[in-house]
Amino acid sequence: MSTLRFTTDTTVDGVREREFALDDVPGLLFSPASGAGGPLVLLGHGGGTHKRWPRFVGRAHRLVLDGGFTVAALDAPGHGDRPRTPTDEREVAALRRVQAAGEPIGPVVERYNLDIARRSVPEWRAALDALAALPEIGPDGPVGWFGTNMATAIGIPLLAAEPRITAAVLGQFWPGPLEETARRVTVPVEFVLQWDDEFISRESGLALFDALGSTEKSLHANAGRHMELPRFEADSAVRFFVRHLSARSTG
């Protein structure tokens, strides 16, 4: 089993933040400063960002402060404090090229993020093993996955493989090869997309939602472009996890 070693321990605005290393993968555990945290939510960041990205940390704090959850984040392969492989370097350069040329980024992002997902899913499963071995978390509680954009490319194969995750917030990604994997996702899902997304067509976004095998699933489609996901969706995600992880009978 991978070794989880805490390296820092600080408190910010009522949230205890502990950095850790899971073998060589850097992570961050958020929990209520006031004491034991509730159910575990795994929080995946988007492409090009990392576990200390301000909006990402803001989501973690909402989950801890409004929902009482314990939240675990990992830097994705090639992101944050992690080294880039030759594949990462090549794909980041390809992305810069299409952006500079004003060409669609979708084909590059989709290909690159699915490659990151292949590397990332085993890391998240190892993290779940190591977190479940901590006395403050334990192996028995329900677990959530919260991740849009690249973290949906990771989340869908992770959910298909990992029965310990029982509810997920996903969205803002292309269907492509994920469409088939999504049919094997059966847990309750809240799925966000942007109605006027300039990168992901409406048809693509709806197709990925439709492909999810879950009998309980909710689409939240908001007017606006890709980066304009409204902040109230983070609050909605907290309530979704409260319904499904904390108070399963009230949904």
Q: By CB under 8 A, name the binding residues for a copy of itself.
A: 195, 206, 209-210, 214-223, 230-232, 235-236, 239, 243, 251
In degrees and rounded to multiples of 5, residue 70 shows phi and psi of -95, 135
Beta-carbon contacts of residue 93 (< 8 Å; ≥ 6 apart):
none
CB 172 within 8 A of CB 226: yes
- Hey, what amino acid is at 78? G
CA 40 to chain CA centroid, Å, is 13
Q: Are strands 70-74 and 40-43 parallel, antiparallel or unpaired?
A: parallel
- Hey, what amino acid is at 90? R
CA 82 to chain CA centroid, Å, is 17
Phi-psi bin for 132: left (phi > 0), alpha (psi -120 to 50), beta?
A: alpha
In degrees and rounded to multiples of 5, residue 234 shows phi and psi of -65, -40
Query: In degrees, to the nearest 5, what angle opens at C-alpha 50 toward C-alphas 229 and 246?
Result: 65
In degrees and rounded to multiples of 5, residue 127 shows phi and psi of -60, -40
Pick 163 or 251: Cβ nearer a copy of itself? 251
Cα separation, 160 vs 157, whole angstroms: 5
The beta-strand segments (E) located in 1-95 are: 4-6, 10-12, 15-22, 25-32, 40-43, 70-74
